[in-house]
Structure 1
Amino acid sequence: MSTTTTSNTFENDFHKNHIQINNFQRGLLTVGSAFMSIVDPYRADMIACLGETAGTSAIMYMMRKMESSEEGAEILRQKPRINSQTVDLDKLKKYPEGTLGRTYTRFLEDNNVTPDSRLPVQFIDDVNAAYVLQRYREAHDLFHAILGMPTNMLGEVTVKWIEAIQTKLPMCIGAAIFGPVRLKLKHRNLYKNYYLPWALETAHNSKFLLNTFFEKRWEQPLNELHKELNIKPLVLPNT
Structure 2
Amino acid sequence: MRSPVNSPGILHYSTELEGGKHWSLTMRANTALRLTDLEGGASVGMLFYNPQDMLERYNAPDTLKCQHTFKLTRGNCLYSDMGRIFCSVTHDDVGWHDTVSGTSTKAIVERQWGARDYQNDRNGWKQNGRDAFLVEAAKYGLGKRDLAMNVNWFARVAVDDEGVLAYVPSNSKAGDSVELRFEMDTLILLHTCPHPLDPSAEYPVKPIGLEIKEVHAAAHDDECRLSRPENGRGFENNRLYHIGCGCGGAR
Fold similarity call, TM over 0.5: no
- Whose strand proportion is higher, 1 or 2? 2
State TM-score, norm by structure 1: 0.27
State TM-score, norm by structure 2: 0.26
Relative contact order higher in (CA < 8 Å, ≥ 6 apart): 2
